[in-house]
Structure 1
Amino acid sequence: MIAVVGSDGSGKSTLSADILQHIRKTRPAEAGYLGLGSGEQGRAIGRWPMIGPRLHAYLDSVADRLRDPQQTIPGILPALYALRKSRKRHAQFDTLLEQRRAGIAIVTDRYPQSEVPGLHDGPIMAGIAATPRIAALQAEERALYAEMAQSQPTLVIRLNVDVDTAMARKPDHVRSLIARKVETVRQLTFADAPIVDLDATVPYEEELAAALAAVDAALAVV
């Protein structure tokens, strides 16, 4: 299990695709998808006639409150929606683990963690639970991520990028959110998995060579 992690704009998708192609030269390998699909769903809603942009803005504000540790979780329905999304991710993760046990190498550009709620594919409900019912849903969600986080990846490739570079690559993203992701990515340990830090601002050929060398070293002892 090779996990490529980093802020939006760090180049996770490009690097993970090239790593997958490299591994497939010597052994069975598959791309691991652990995304929630929320971003594309929101953009699709935003394209609806008339109400789309307003609805998209409203849903974004709800998502922001769910993921902000300083904000109150905005009601039971958003909490249930977040839990449903996280259950889906848990099922996806179980499928990847089954493939891993079957001898297939998995390359994923995200990996579940429980150390930083609200960011980096951690629990969605990072906000404050205002009622016992919402608190119970939040606890259930965090238990899902705690369970997933116990499965240690073989190697984590952590891409480090500055905020200006990330925003230049993802100009439609919110700068404050990118800044939070850049700042917190180094807090992630992934159950003390082996982590290789790479500078995602160097020429890509240099970054890719370093990544493939780390992957080859990790897989040589598996």
Structure 2
Amino acid sequence: MTKHHTRRELIGASPINSELVDYLNQARSPSHNQLAPCVALIGCDGSGKSTLARDLVSLLNRNINTRSVYLGLGTGDFGRRIAKLPLVGGVVSRFLQNKASKAHEGRDKRLPGLATALAMFGLSLTRRHRFREALKYRKKGVQIVTDRYPQAELAGGFDGPGLNSARKGSPLVEYLARREQSIYRQMAAYQPTVIIRLNVDVDTALARKADHERALLEKKIAVLPTLSFAGARIVDIDATRPYGDVLASTLAVLQRFGLRA
């Protein structure tokens, strides 16, 4: 087993390596042990994160106080709601998509203007607020199940910084990009107990989220396996299977990490 795969398992294709999980549980840092458990659900749109988060909280809450926290930005759903507005919806939606596309392009592009940068920075501050609320609950002994989890490895979406600090721009926007990167590094330093990565193919995702763009879903599916979330413990689950099987597999993983429904 290579170093790259030491913290990952695949559910639905191979059995859980219980010895590996036991070893990882023993290796938890002291700061992590001071917090109540946190289960982070990540995956492409249409992988079932929201439904699974809701059901996990309902089941885990029977034994220990458990809450669900959404750590995404919700900008995709916001844009789709705007697009449905009469007369102006299509125009405004295309404007927002164009702004987002320019902001998320490659490293050779410049940072966006101040207005766009401030909006993106503001969204990250909102995410940090939610993250801090989750930490407060964990410090009080409340288990947390998160829909999404912040990462500091890749800017321009995928629950990472909105601004790419490697790009050039105005001095003020460059400062915002550096500050935003620091915020995400601080959040990513708090590793969840386990990350459940729900894997689906693009056709399955589109069947569940027909209003999404295929190209964007394909990009998300391609990028997710490359993210390490600061070395967090990641378990892969095949989310193309019937939901009952996905839920059962997830509960089996959580039991091995000491979380019981």
- RMSD (Å), alpha carbons: 1.8
**Do residues 168 (structure 1) and 218 (structure 2) align?**
no
1:138 aligned onto 2:174: no
145-154 or 65-74, which moves further after superposition? 65-74
Distance change in 2, residues 1:29/1:216 (3 Å): same
Kept after mapping to 2: 8 A contact 1:129/1:138: no
Unmatched runs of 5 consecutive residues or more in structure 2: 1-37
Give the drift of 1:219.
Answer: 2.5
Letter in 2 for 1:51: V
CA–CA separation in structure 2 for the residues paired with 1:5 and 1:194: 12
What runs of 5+ residues in structure 1 fail to find an aligned partner?
A: none
Return closer, same or farther for 1:4/1:49 CA change in 2, 3 Å cut-off. Answer: same
Q: With the length of structure 1 as denominator, give the TM-score of the two structures.
A: 0.92
2:194 to 132, 135, 155: 155
Aligned equivalents of 1:47, 1:220: Cα separation in 2: 41
Name the % identity. Answer: 41
How far apart are the structure 1 equivalents of 2:152 and 2:81?
Answer: 29
Between 76-85 and 14-23, the greater mean CA deviation after superposition:
14-23
Which residue does 2:80 correspond to in 1?
A: 43
Q: 1:5 aligns with which of 42, 66, 69?
A: 42
Counterpart in 1 of 2:126? Answer: 88
Aligned twin of 2:25: none
The alignment status of 1:121 with 2:159, answered yes or no, reads yes
Matches of 1:164 and 1:91 in 2, distance apart? 34
Does residue 201 (structure 1) correspond to residue 240 (structure 2)? The answer is: yes
Q: Does 1:97 align with 2:158?
A: no
Structure of larger gyration radius: 2
CA contact (8 A) 1:15 1:208 kept: yes
Residue identity opposite 2:205 in structure 1: A
Residue 145 of structure 2 aligns to a residue whose secondary structure is strand
Alignment partner, residue 67 of structure 2: 30
Q: Residue in 2 aligned with 1:78? A: 116
Contact 1:69–1:126 under 8 Å retained in 2: no
Q: 1:168 to 1:44 in 2, by over 3 A?
A: closer
Match of 1:69 in 2: 106
